[in-house]
């Protein structure tokens, strides 16, 4: 069974439909990168998967369970699909360790000591073993985003959704975040990554989806979609963002 499955998704804000009939699925251990121009609906799609937005048509299932923002199961579902945001969204009043431990302790009600130990290990794993007690404001953007990734991992999710995780970072900090994501991919984490980092997509993704104007225009392995795009819209987009 696919971990994430979208069938004929339609999503409107008011009367404006921004996602038109999008279908795709993500298998266990797969890394799927979503590329596309700004405003094409990439964030909205991720937010629908995580139940942060409602959708008007079609169905989204996680492990076969329907994502329905109105249902009481949505909270449990969100604990299984973690999200990493463009602007990190760390809790500023809590330390790195507390940010990571918050969900497992207060939402999943796991034993405190065990969670704290695991959270320390996770922070060490993303290279922040020395910053455990730092507050977000004391960390660089790259460090904050790595804490956010550790926070996602702390939930022991089945999949992680990344919404342009490096777009808010200074260029010199992008590499450290991509390196962590790459290592997650190597360890078999299921990931959906919205990104403009074509190098990352090319090397790490199993599949690339190109979204334009709310339509899934093209989909396939990275060397096909990125190197030999079939659709003129994909060709046009890649020509604009890739230095030739």
Partner 1 sequence: MTHFLSQVPTYLPILMQGVYLTLLVTLGAFVLATALGLVWAFMRVSGIAPLAWTARTIIVIVRGIPGIVTLFYIYFVLPDLGLSLTAVQAAIIGLGIAYSPYMAEVFRSGIEAIDRGQTEAALSIGMGWGLLMRRVVLPQAIRVALPPYGSTMVMLLKDSSLASTITVAELSLQGKLLASSTFENTTIFTMVALIYLAMSLPLTAFNGWLERRLRQAR
Ligand X SMILES: Nc1ncnc2c1ncn2[C@@H]1O[C@H](COP(=O)(O)OP(=O)(O)O)[C@@H](O)[C@H]1O
Q: Which residue among 44, 190, 195, 234 contacts ligand X (CB under 6 A)?
A: 44
Are 4 and 60 contacting, i.e. CB atoms less than 8 angstroms apart?
yes
Minimum distance of ligand X from residue 154's CB (angstroms): 25
By C-beta, is 41 or 165 nearer to ligand X? 41
> According to the binding rule CB under 6 A, does residue 161 interact with ligand X?
no
Binding part of the chain for partner 1, among 45-53, 115-123, 176-184, 219-227 by CB under 8 A, reads: 45-53
> According to the binding rule CB under 5 A, does residue 195 interact with Mg ion?
no
> According to the binding rule CB under 8 A, does residue 106 interact with partner 1?
yes
**What are all long-range contacts of 75-79, with beta carbons under 8 Å and residues at least 24 apart?**
75/107, 77/51, 78/50, 78/51, 79/103, 79/107, 79/108, 79/155, 79/157
By C-beta, is 79 or 140 nearer to partner 1? 79
Binding part of the chain for partner 1, among 58-66, 81-89, 212-220, 236-244 by CB under 8 A, reads: 81-89
Strands 190-194 and 16-26: unpaired
**Chain residues 5-64 in contact with Mg ion, contact rule CB under 5 A:** 43
For residue 39, the partner it binds in ligand X, Mg ion, partner 1, none, with Cβ less than 5 to 8 A by kind, is ligand X
Minimum distance of partner 1 from residue 52's CB (angstroms): 6
For residue 18, the partner it binds in partner 1, ligand X, Mg ion, none, with Cβ less than 5 to 8 A by kind, is ligand X
For residue 129, the partner it binds in partner 1, Mg ion, ligand X, none, with Cβ less than 5 to 8 A by kind, is none
By C-beta, is 44 or 143 nearer to ligand X? 44
Give the binding site for ligand X (CB under 6 A).
13, 18, 36, 38-44
Contacts to Mg ion by CB under 5 A: 43
Residues lying near partner 1 in the complex (CB under 8 A) are found at 50-52, 75-76, 78-79, 82-83, 85, 87, 89-93, 102-103, 106-108, 135, 137, 151, 155
């Amino acid at each position: 069974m696919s971990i994430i499955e979208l069938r004929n998704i339609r999503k409107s804000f008011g009367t404006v439909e921004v996602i038109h009939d999008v279908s795709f699925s993500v298998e266990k251990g797969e890394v799927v990168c979503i590329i596309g121009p700004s405003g094409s609906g990439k964030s909205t799609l991720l937010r629908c998967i995580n139940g942060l937005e409602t959708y008007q048509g079609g169905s989204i299932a996680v492990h076969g369970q329907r994502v329905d923002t109105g249902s009481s199961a949505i909270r449990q579902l969100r604990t299984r699909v973690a999200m990493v945001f463009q602007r990190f969204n760390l809790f500023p009043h809590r330390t790195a360790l507390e940010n990571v431990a918050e969900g497992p302790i207060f939402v999943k009600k796991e034993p405190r000591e065990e969670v704290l130990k695991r959270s320390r290990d996770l922070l060490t794993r993303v290279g922040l073993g020395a910053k455990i007690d730092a507050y977000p404001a004391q960390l660089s953007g790259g460090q904050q985003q790595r804490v956010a990734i550790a926070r996602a991992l702390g939930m022991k999710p089945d999949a992680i959704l990344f919404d342009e995780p490096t777009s808010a970072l200074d260029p010199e900090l992008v590499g450290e975040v991509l390196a962590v994501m790459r290592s997650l991919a190597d360890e078999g984490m299921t990931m959906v990554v919205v990104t403009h980092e074509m190098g990352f997509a090319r090397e790490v993704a199993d599949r690339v989806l190109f979204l334009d104007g709310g339509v899934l225009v093209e989909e396939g392995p990275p060397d096909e979609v990125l190197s030999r795009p079939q659709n003129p819209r994909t060709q046009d987009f890649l020509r604009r963002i890739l230095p030739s």
